[in-house]
Structure 1
Amino acid sequence: MKFSWKWLKTLVNLENVTLSGLITQLTLAGIEVENVEEKPDIQDITLTIHVTTNRSDVSCLIGVAREVATLFNLRLYKSVRQAHTKNDIMLADLAIKSNSLLDINVSKIQELEPHLSPNWLKYRLKGCGIASSNLYTDVTNYINIKWGQDIDIFDPYYKNNFFCVTVPEYRKRDIRRAIDVVEEIGRIYGFEKFIHKIPQYKKRGSFSKINIVMKSIRLKLRSMGLHEIVSYSLQNRSNNRAVNLYNPLIEEQSKLRNSLIYNLLDAREYNLKQAALCLECFEIGRVFHKTANTITEQINVAGLIGSPSFSRRSWSNKSESLSWFQAKGMLEELFETLKVEVVWKKHEDDLCKQYDIKNSSMFHTHRIAIVGNRKDQKQIGLLGQIHSRHNSSFSINHNVYVFEINLLYLIEAINKKSSQHLQYVFQPYSNYPSITRDISCKIGQHENAKSIKEKILKTKNSLIESVEILSEYKDINYNEAEYTRNLTLRIQYRAYNRTLNDNDIRCIDNEIEQILEKSKT
């Protein structure tokens, strides 16, 4: 329970009592003071005490004032008394014939305008750790803190057939919510008198956008062969951004996680120790980050990929582990499925700190990249290869890659209007044979192999089917003025309606020769 030091001094005379003396006496009396928070903006101090189940009498400020007056042999101010109000609405007016509901107290306040709460009321509530909302809510909170009495204030012009209920002392433990009052009325009135009819609800429910994206991610990662795991949000890895629990059950679960990567590595290590198969897995879960003044919560998706026998070039060759480009391609395939437009950036140590990675030594030096939103360059996630020095600690002897992505930032990068990454073009194939020419030439220092290829294709000669670059050699023995490069191209000719003759081939060769001659200068 939180209460205001300044408010307490208006209930009992504490001129000769210091704050430290009050804390000591309350603690010795069995009422532990858990926290003391200064609030200079209102010149007040907020005290947080722990109320045990056998001392519910000190769960309100009046109860605390009585306890303090008893401990220091003081008297309460005369203003500390609870006024008795008259019941303005009789039970007969409520059409309830039962002696069990004589404790209902309904009072009507007229000519009350919904102005803003006065400053003194705002300061009293702020001193107790409650932000001001509106006049009705503030009055309700004020009475609850001071007297421990739950009330309900409503406007009869907007709420018809509603009434306030005063819960007696002997029913406070089981009647706490509005639904509890409804249940009590139904019990007295008789449940057998209720009409057995379910109300119709025409509005159809729908999934939120984040749930739709999560479902798509699950389906895609499962289709890639990854297993989904669910792990605890509690751990014992400490860092500057870790959120500590005040009263953990065990030391191993004393902090909230701020990354999913270590949970995936622990799951893989556990499966290997149990002689299970190589585990490739992913998890979608919540992580927590602590900054200077706030604690943020977000949903991340993380994955661990890599197996000793991911692929092989042929049946006669040995199987090979997952390469960096294959791992990057798997992640790009996921982005393509979701229509997410990303850019790949070089990693920085400051960016890695967001994912509970102390520094880039966790990953291979040249095998870590940051994924960003193409529109605003905002960081979405991270992909990296676990360094070999860490593989031994996790019982891993092959390449392993991990990624972690902020799900909300990923949704922001989705562009529904974007086309697919792969553009499939369907065209008829020719039934006639092709002719292949391997051409070697020299090009100038201002040309490159790609530009030569583009110039040949731009001739728009329908008989040129494809151009392939076989090799490019640079001659470093010449001086800069005579610097040239040797280029070898493989060009394929084909017609769709006939077999090519010598005249066709000669015309194509002449066009290509003219392009290559211009490229020498």
Structure 2
Amino acid sequence: MRVSLNWLRELVAIDLEPEALGDRLTLAGFEVEEIEDRRTWAEGVVVGEILDCDRHPNAEKLQVCQVDVGQSEPSTIVCGAPNAAAGLYVPVACPGAILGKIDLKIRPTKLRGVLSQGMICSLAELGLAKESAGIHIFDNEENQRQVGEDVRPILGLDDVVLDLTSTANRADALSMVGIAREVAALTGGKLSIPSVIPPRIKKSARLKSIQIAVDSPQVCPAYLGTMIKDIKVEPSPLWLQRRLETAGIRPINNVVDITNYILLTWGQPLHAFDGDRLKALAGKDSLTIGVRPGRPQETLKTLDGQNRTLCPENLLITANDQPVALAGVMGGEATEVHDGTTTIFLEAALFGSAAVRRSARHQGLRSEASARYERGVNAAELEAACNDALALIQIFAGGTIQQQVIFDQRPNLERVIQLRLEQVHRLLGPIDRPGSDGEDGVGDMDDLEPEEVTQALTALGFGVKQETETKSIPDVSPIWQVTVPPYRHRDIEREVDLIEEVARLYGYDRFIETLPDQGELGYLPIEYTLLRQIRSVCRGAGLTELMHYSWVKPGQSQDTQITVVNPLVAEFSSLRMDLVTGLVQACRYNLEQGNPPLNGFEVGRVFIKDEDGLWESDRLGGIISGDPWQGKWLRPSQKQQPLSWFEAKGILESIFARLGLGVEYQPDCRDERFHPGRTASLWLQGERLGRFGQLHPQFRQDQDLPEAVYVFELDIEVLLDNLLQNQARQQFHSFSTYPSADRDLALFAPRSLAVTDLQRTMVKAAAGQGSLLASIELFDQYVGEGVPEGQRSLAFRLCYRASDRTLTDAEVNAQHQQIRDALQEKYGLTLRS
């Protein structure tokens, strides 16, 4: 929120410099992001009167003006503005003036041969507008000034603006009155909140031609509607326009500006409807103003000109059941106040935070009003804000109150919380007493006194009453009953909240910082260490780490996909069920941007719904869509070739090898997005790890991807469990100093028989009488001429080794023959060697 220091001084007596005040507010929890000193924008700029204006002798678009700036003789100023004319009062930057916003110091200079002794300024040059068509001309309200007078007070440039950011729990800080209360408590300055006198409403004005119909008091606990006739819509007074501009709000007309002024003053959003348009839209003279949820297919054109489709998540204001506004967010264009408005219906209401937040998010619409309703508007000062607005409307727009209707079901705002001094000391610790420096330069350590606690709370507007039974008992820590002021009702709920207020007001920087006498070295849990290892191994295999949001667009699997009721973005309202979809989209996006095929991995969470309920799981996913060596000097002249299934599998196998995992592959064709003949399920110790395979050609074509794209997705929990078991089983084995003996084994096998099954049979056969088998490697596969129909030729290299001796041919041949016999017996294979 932008806080004008001049406006703030009207509400609380302060004499601090802006920088010092900013530091105090920041330490109290209201971060001052920027201090905008407007006094530097027009230093040396004064009011001038153009006495004469003649055409420049050497330039068609320039004029030579004689300007009275309060000196003994008029100043000659060359001006290029088309609206410069004799008799106008204008801002003039004399020689030596500094225009801080455009970083310009004015000096006498010749323009086309004529000496110019200054510059006539536009609002853009003074920092008050982005663009200006010409010089600024003071109107009747502004030019009641003496020539030569400083223009800064006239244009509101004698002010300093603090740009504050408050935490979400401090809704009261989004108003000048709320900030003034805080500053008064921090500085001890006298608070001067404007007193509001309720307008007199004749009994005859309380007719029943307007009624309020609220569907749920929870979403609208209070609604005040006032019909005012004989309004005259015109520009607001200059002081009001300047005040709104300082706060970053564009002035529109007196009625709308007053509602915005009340918004800034009290933090209470108001909305003014054109009364005649409201009745015309309702179709009757009698009005029923309703507050209800939207209905499907209803529409509303809001003040920003957008046609919005409504739904039950939108909270609406209706006139005889016709939508006229998004409650707490924005009004409708059909009932907006315009230059011809003569009757207005002023709305002052309280809307539920959750209802407004849900409605604004669904429409993707944020406003000053919704920002305050979402945090919680002060329910106790609704009447004060409404009455203040009515008084200002009657002063600056005329009008007579015709009728006022009230709906009020606000809950009791009184709250009393017990506060114990012992608990204050326990949570906050000792303080550093100022002015009591010890030998080490640090003040004496002491606890907060009871008077300091009560003084801090009283300054913040809390009612503090000490319990009577503790007063007469010596050495007993005081206990207070603290009454929470209504404007802090949403923020202060527990004893710890009161303790935080004491610390915040006393100053966090005044408490002693103490560290434990002895510390312990931190460490990463073993799961995080292993997860880092997995990431490192994947990067070592040439995969780039990717990160995607868990939010996805709703898909076709509505039965198993989890849809969120209030998503951050309406388009992405579901949670992802796997990592494959995000990886495929990332690959396609990279190709669309002209990048090489993507080889990447991602560690993320997926969300599943099944008959057992909702559950989530961490996964490791990866995509391999291109040869990492293509285009390098090793293959400079080769035509680009897609990776084969075995080459892609080799990348995955290298990851498993680095992790020390023996993974088995089994055929899998359950996912329609994968190639049915080139997809495998992965297993570790009899537990399903995940899947790996090539994308189905049809799916690949629909996604406009390269010819061969491979994807894997692994269960992190299974992966970590096996890595933990491997670490527990790890033992050091020295390398054998004895040579190995290799034997080749060639055979014909059916294509349906997996190599994994053959290798498992070999290992089992060798283990029967003390295994000498050290490794098995498939080094050749052939299908074609000379191979029986439906079979393939496979060649394995079996390595035999003992750790304590050199093997003899007889030992090796015996175990090798044992493996051959096992293969023939189990599968009936034809052995070629």
TM-score (norm 2): 0.35
Q: Is the CA contact 1:285–1:300 (under 8 Å) kept in the aligned structure 2?
A: yes
1:370 aligned partner, one-letter code = S
Secondary structure of the structure 1 residue equivalent to 2:452: coil
Within a 5 Å distance, the mapping from 1:262-301 to structure 2 comes to 262-291=581-610, 294-301=613-620
> What residue number does 1:3 align with?
none
Classify the secondary structure of the residue corresponding to 2:689.
strand
Residue 207 (str. 1) matches residue 524 (str. 2): yes
Contact 2:691–2:712, Cα closer than 8 Å, also in 1: yes
- Measured at CA, do residues 72 and 320 of structure 1 come closer, stay the same or move farther in structure 2, by a change above 3 Å? same
On the 8 A contact 2:669/2:676 being kept in 1, the answer is no
| CA drift at 1:424 | 8.5
Match of 2:536 among 211, 215, 219: 219
Q: Say which of 552, 555, 576 aligns to 1:235.
A: 552
Counting only pairs closer than 5 Å after superposition, residues 76-225 of structure 1 correspond to structure 2 as 94-96=450-452, 98-102=454-458, 103=462, 167-172=484-489, 175=492, 181-191=498-508, 193-200=510-517, 202-225=519-542
**What is the aligned counterpart of 1:328 among 641, 645, 649?**
649
1:366 is aligned to 2:694: no
SS for the counterpart of 1:245 is: coil
Larger helix fraction of residues: 1
Indicate yes or no: 2:621 matched with 1:302: yes
SS of the residue aligned with 1:397? Answer: coil
- The 1:372–1:489 alpha-carbon spacing in structure 2 relative to 1, beyond 3 Å, is closer
Conserved 8 A contact 1:269-1:394: yes
Contact 1:235 1:253 in 2 (8 A): yes
1:396 to 680, 701, 705: 705
2-structure distance, mates of 1:396, 1:180 = 57
Indicate if the aligned counterparts of 2:591 and 2:597 stay in contact, CA closer than 8 A: yes
Deviation at 1:300, TM superposition (A): 1.6
Is there any run of 5+ residues in structure 2 with no aligned partner, and where?
Answer: 1-213, 221-288, 295-311, 314-352, 357-369, 380-404, 425-447, 470-476, 746-757, 773-777, 782-794, 800-807, 825-833
Shift of 1:402: 0.5
Aligned partners of 1:489, 1:73: CA distance in 2, in Å?
A: 87
Counterpart contact for 1:339–1:420, Cα < 8 Å: no
CA pair 380-296 structure 1, distance change in 2 beyond 3 A:
same
Question: Which moved further from structure 2: 396-405 or 411-420?
Answer: 411-420
* Cα 1:386/1:25, change in 2 over 3 Å: closer
SS at match of 2:548: coil
| Alpha-carbon distance, 1:24 to partner | 11
Runs of 5+ consecutive residues of structure 1 not aligned to the other structure: 1-20, 36-47, 60-70, 111-159, 350-359, 439-447, 462-467, 472-487, 493-503
**Separation of aligned partners in 2, 1:437 and 1:175:** 80
Find the aligned partners of 1:185 and 1:298 in 2 and give their Cα distance. 44
For 2:377 and 2:734, the matched residues in 1 are separated by: 75
Contact 2:691 2:714 in 1 (8 A): yes
Q: How far has the Cα of 1:295 moved from its partner?
A: 3.4
Question: Structure 2 CA distance, aligned partners of 1:170 and 1:489?
Answer: 82
Shift of 1:50: 3.0
What is the one-letter code of the residue matched to 2:541? Answer: M
> Is the contact between residue 308 and residue 399 of structure 1 (CA under 8 Å) also seen in structure 2?
no
Output the amino acid matched with 1:362. Answer: R
Counterpart Cα distance in 2 of 1:265 and 1:191: 51
CA distance in 1, matches of 2:779, 2:508: 85
1:304, 1:408 → 2: CA distance? 20
The one-letter code matched in structure 2 to 1:416 is: N
Matches of 2:683 and 2:771, distance apart in 1: 38
| Structure-2 residue corresponding to 1:405 | 714
| Correspondence 1:50 to 2:355 | yes
Within 2, Cα distance between the matches of 1:29 and 1:213?
59
Deviation at 1:198, TM superposition (A): 4.4
Does the 8 Å CA contact 1:310/1:319 hold for their aligned counterparts? no
Provide the secondary structure at the position in 2 that maps to 1:259: coil
Number of the residue aligned with 2:226: none
Aligned residues of 1:282 and 1:304 also touching (Cα < 8 A): yes
Per the alignment, residue 118 of structure 1 pairs with: none
Equivalent pair of 2:667/2:681 in contact (CA under 8 Å) = yes
Q: What's the offset of the Cα at 1:94?
A: 3.6
* Paired letter, 1:171: R
The question of whether the paired residues in 2 share the 8 Å contact of 1:98 and 1:188 is answered with no
Note the C-alpha offset of 1:409.
2.9
Structure 1 368/57 Cα, relative in aligned 2: closer, same or farther at 3 Å? same
Q: CA–CA distance in 2 between the matches of 1:247 and 1:23?
A: 20
Q: What amino acid is aligned across from residue 355 of structure 2 in structure 1?
A: H
Asked if 1 retains the 8 angstrom alpha-carbon contact of 2:415 and 2:489, the reply is no
Q: State the SS of the aligned residue for 2:726.
A: coil
- In 2, are the aligned partners of 1:87 and 1:107 still within 8 Å (CA)? no
CA distance in 2, matches of 1:405, 1:459: 35
Deviations along 1:360-387, one digit per CA (max 9) or x if unpaired, are 3211112112223415x3x332211112
Distance 1:309 1:97, change over 3 A: closer
Q: C-alpha displacement at 1:391, in angstroms? A: 2.4
Retained in 1: the 8 A contact 2:679–2:693? yes
What amino acid sits opposite 2:648 in the alignment? A
Residues 255 and 31 from structure 1, CA distance in 2 versus in 1: closer, same or farther, beyond 3 angstroms? same
Deviations 1:214-251 (A, max 9, x none): 21111111111111111222221412322223344655
Q: What is the alpha-carbon distance in structure 1 between the residues aligned to residue 495 and residue 596 of structure 2? A: 54
In the TM superposition, residue 419 of structure 1 has moved relative to its aligned partner by: 6.6
Amino acid at match of 2:643: L
Separation of aligned partners in 1, 2:710 and 2:649: 9
Summarize the Cα distance change of 1:334–1:391 in structure 2 as closer, same or farther, 3 Å threshold: same
Q: Distance in 2 between matches of 1:206 and 1:174?
A: 38
How has the CA–CA distance of structure 1 residues 306 and 162 changed in structure 2, closer, same or farther, with 3 Å as cutoff? farther
The letter of the residue matching 1:213 is L
Amino acid of the structure 2 residue aligned with 1:402: V
1:176 Cα deviation after fit: 6.2
In 1, distance between residues paired with 2:677 and 2:567?
39
CA distance in 1, matches of 2:596, 2:451: 71
Count the aligned residue pairs: 371
Identity of aligned residues (%): 25
What is the aligned-residue RMSD (CA, Å)?
6.3
How far apart, in 2, do the equivalents of 1:264 and 1:345 lie? 23
- Structure 1 residues 219 and 290: CA distance shift in structure 2, 3 A: same
The match for 1:30 is 291
Larger Rg: 2
Match of 1:257 in 2: 576
